[in-house]
Chains A and B, each alone.
Chain A
Amino acid sequence: MTDMSEPYSQATGELLKIRGLSKAFPLTKGFLEQLHFEGGRLVRRRESVKAINGVDLDVKRGEALCVVGESGCGKSTVARVVMGLLEPTAGSIQYDGERIDNLPPERLLPYRRKMQMIFQNPYASLNPRLTVKQTLEEPMRFHNPGIGNGELKDKVRDVMDSVGVDPSWRDRFPHEFSGGQRQRISIARALMVDPEFIVADEPISALDVSIQAQVLNLMMDAMEQRALTYMFITHDLSVVEHFGTRVAVMYLGSLCELAPTRTLFETPRHPYTKALISAIPKLTQGRPGHIKLIGEVPTPINLPAGCFFHNRCVYADDRCKVEKPVLHTVDGGCRVACHGVQEGRVD
């Protein structure tokens, strides 16, 4: 974890480097919607939802980086921007040392083979009109135009085998499968092009608890066998503990803590992370020591000044209200964005 102290270094272990990434979704689309009367004058004002605000994040080769946070904190937006499904408003994304966020679609194709995505809802992520075979063959055929039918058939069989779906079901349609099976097929589609990096956007949150463990194990097996790197978006902290090597905690579109999994769960530094960890249900006697946060998450349309968390934080002082904290490294390979931690006000 020593390279974390030099975030801008060209460390070889970093597969993905996200710098200053921001994404804002405009709310007022038409010109007429942007005009307002204020104090007797006509002014033009554009409003937007700031989904992510200046996120710096590295994904190292071979790790499973978990991104956690509550609903609406921008974790899915990070995943979509990284995969090129959304265009960032500001910032850069580097994959293997190469900037990919501003590439035209045809130059992005080599990276499409290396980066794949697994989606949240297995009932929507498979085209209902295509058979399993057609769904799986498509990425392979697209990226290898000259591939022979026999080779393709072997590949489909191998991948279906490896995700635990009987290859003889390849002529069936998605509606003939259960949610867990569909998610396996969805994973198989991502694995068809032999990627090295997979972004998983809450891949198990739509599944039954008993199936969640199976799919999670499948993803871990695939990681071991294929030397995959994961960016795993989730809100389920027990999954993080089981799966992640490092955890990034997000709040209101910015990163508040980045730490190795065990360190984060044992000694959370950021006040928000402390509250988050304390909210995990435990089987202990007596009253659990929940940290109760007061108030609501501020609206991402009008972001608060200073630290985004200051209005709910028990440690907040005057500095927190005006100055936005940046990530700084503390001992144990953690990076925390908190004035209180930096000044030693937070225990």
Chain B
Amino acid sequence: MTRYWRLFKDSTLLYSFGRDKVAMASFSVLLLLVVLSFSSPLIAPFDPYDPAGIDIMDSDIPPSWQEEGDPRFTLGTDAQGRDMLSTMLYGTRISITIGLFAVLLQSVLGILLGLAAGYFGGRIDSFLMRLADIQLSFSTLMVAIVVLAVFQASFGTELYNDLAIFMLILVIGIAEWPQYARTVRASVLAEKKKEYVDAVRVIGLGSRRIMLRHILPNTLSPILVISTVQVANAIMSEAALSFLGLGMPVNKPSLGSLINSGFEYILSGSWWITAFPAIVLVILVLVINLLGDWLRDVLNPKLYKN
């Protein structure tokens, strides 16, 4: 392990990170958001999942610095009387969880199929890549809307509300695998021509071992780059679906469903219900994308910056 730590410590990654202010700022903001949202049961002033702790009389209270504000609710309350700050903390946690697990599913699917397509070539490659083309010709949102709407209609809203988080992960994860498969396939095509692959073939290793132990580790940098962008995309997709009423249910809101639930009241003056979660969502997606940009520049050997 010390060997890998040494390698990491000497790497250009860390060096460039220390010199890039944007990357450092983005990383700190992201870290702050992740830590705050995942410790929300400990630090949130209220538990928005507990119906007993919510009083409908507290609904629509503006942020505390406004005239009608209540010092108990720093960022005000929503239409049901939930504390916005606590609800947003819990919602950010849900959004990040969905983003991470959807990307995990995408990457596992995409990496395996991309490896197989690139390494074996020929008919397997043509078949998998045409499959990816077909998948890409439907937009993620369209697939998700159809699947989620059909599920909701056929199994009832109650079951849907229980399974919403898994369904979202599954749908976003499956709909986006071609992004990974294409990237991985392209790098595999470049790597498999190198002589070290011939060398292990001469040793007699099987294709599975060659793919997983020798080729995959050498295609990691593009995977890392698209992963960051894909996390941001998955969070956005989830927010969009929730905004359309197909995402997380009202009693377990994500950032997207919070924005949606506040949208009805925005014209009656309750701007805070939509605005605060929207700001958090924009910041979250922005810092992840900025980190992804930085990572892409660092891992691209053709882009040497001072």
Q: Is the interface of A mostly helix, strand, loop or mixed?
A: loop
User: Of B202, B206, B214, which contacts A127 at CB under 8 A?
Assistant: B214
Given contacts A127-B214, A173-B7, contact A117 B204 (CB under 8 A): no
A121 close to chain B: CB less than 8 A: yes
- Near B by CB (< 8 A), chain A positions 106-121 give 108-109, 112, 115-117, 119-121
Residue of B nearest to A125 (CB): B195
B194 close to chain A: CB less than 8 A: yes
CB distance from A103 to the nearest CB of B (A): 11
Contacts of A109 in B (CB 8 A): 204
User: Of A108, A124, A131, which contacts B196 at CB under 8 A?
Assistant: A124
The total of chain A residues at the interface (CB under 8 A) is 31
A138 close to chain B: CB less than 8 A: yes
Contacts of A121 in B (CB 8 A): 195
Instruction: Determine if B3 and A112 form an interchain contact, defined as CB atoms under 8 angstroms apart.
Output: no
B interface residue numbers (CB < 8 A to A): 3, 7, 194-196, 198-206, 214, 217-218
Instruction: Determine if A85 and B194 form an interchain contact, defined as CB atoms under 8 angstroms apart.
Output: no
Given contacts A119-B195, A124-B194, contact A105 B200 (CB under 8 A): no
Contacts of B200 in A (CB 8 A): 127, 138
A134-166 vs B, Cβ < 8 Å mask (1 yes, 0 no): 000011001100000000000000000000000
Instruction: Determine if B3 and A131 form an interchain contact, defined as CB atoms under 8 angstroms apart.
Output: yes
Given contacts A124-B196, A129-B217, contact A116 B204 (CB under 8 A): no
Instruction: Determine if A142 and B204 form an interchain contact, defined as CB atoms under 8 angstroms apart.
Output: yes
Complex alpha-carbon distance, A80 and B195, angstroms = 11
A269 close to chain B: CB less than 8 A: no
A51 close to chain B: CB less than 8 A: no
CB distance from B213 to the nearest CB of A (A): 8
Instruction: Determine if A117 and B7 form an interchain contact, defined as CB atoms under 8 angstroms apart.
Output: no
CB distance from A18 to the nearest CB of B (A): 17
User: Of A124, A143, A171, which contacts B195 at CB under 8 A?
Assistant: A124
CB distance from A205 to the nearest CB of B (A): 13
- Near B by CB (< 8 A), chain A positions 257-274 give none
Complex alpha-carbon distance, A131 and B217, angstroms = 13
Residue of A nearest to B217 (CB): A129
Q: List 14 A-B contacts (CB under 8 A).
A: A80-B198, A83-B202, A84-B201, A112-B204, A115-B202, A125-B196, A125-B198, A127-B200, A127-B214, A130-B214, A131-B3, A138-B203, A143-B204, A189-B199
